[in-house]
Amino acid sequence: MFRAYLVPINRAGWPFIAIFAAATVLAALFVGQWLTWILFLLTVWCCYFFRDPERVVPTRDGLVISPADGLVQSVGRVEPPVELGLPPDRHYTRISVFMDVFDVHVNRSPVDGRVISCRYTPGKFLNAALDKASVENERQAISMETADGLPIGVVQIAGLVARRILCHATPGETLRRGQRFGLIRFGSRVDVFVPEGTAIVAIPGQHAYAGETVLADLISTEGSRAGEWR
Active site residues: 188
Q: What is the DSSP string of 43-100?
A: HHHHHHHTB--------STTEEE-SSSEEEEEEEEEPPPGGG---TTS-EEEEEEEE-
Nearest residue to 167 via CA among 147, 143, 135 = 143
Q: What is the rounded distance in angstroms from the CA atom of residue 99 to the CA atom of residue 160?
A: 11
Cα-based distances in Å from 177 to 105, 114, 123, 215: 17, 11, 29, 13
